[in-house]
Amino acid sequence: MPDNPEEKLDLITLIAQRGRVDDIVKAAESAGATGVTYFEAKGTGVRQKLGLKGFLIVPDKQVFLIVTKRHQTDAVFEAVSKAAHLDEPAKGFAYIHPIDRAVGFLTS
C-alpha cells in the first residue's frame, strides 16, 4: 500500500442486532463508504451468562464489514455506530483495524 495517508485503508467491523441493514448501509454510504458487506450471524456468551435477563439479548446478529479510506474512517464509524444504536446497551459493538495490504479494492 502507498505511504500516502489518503490512500491507506481501514476495516470497520460492526456487529449489530438484526433489522438495521438499511439504516446502517445508508449511514455508511452517506458518510463516504463506497460499499458495505454484511452477513447473518448468531452471538453467544453474554446472553448465557446473564441467566434469566439473557432473554433480552437477541442472539441473531448481522456483521458488517466496511473498508474505508483512512481519512473517511472516523466519519463512517460514527455514522454506522449511531445507525446501529451502539450507545444503547446490548445493541452490538464495532471496531476498526488498519489494513496493511489489500487487493481488488477500488479506491477511486
Structure confidence by residue, pLDDT tens digits, 25-59: 999 999 999 999 999 998 766 555 665 655 555 66
CA atoms of 103 and 108, how far apart (whole Å): 14
Domain region containing 69: 9-99
Residue 36 in domain? yes
pLDDT at 60: 83
Mean pLDDT (the chain) is 85
The answer to whether residues 37 and 80 touch, using CB atoms and an 8 Å cutoff, is no
Residue type, 86: L
pLDDT at 22: 95
Residue 32 in domain? yes
The answer to whether residues 61 and 8 touch, using CB atoms and an 8 Å cutoff, is no
CA atoms of 53 and 102, how far apart (whole Å): 42
The CATH number given to whatever domain includes residue 29 is 3.30.70.120
Residue 4 in domain? no
Q: Which residues contact 55 (CB under 8 A, 6 or more apart)?
A: 47
Residue 71 in domain? yes
pLDDT 10s digits, 52-68: 655 555 668 899 999 99
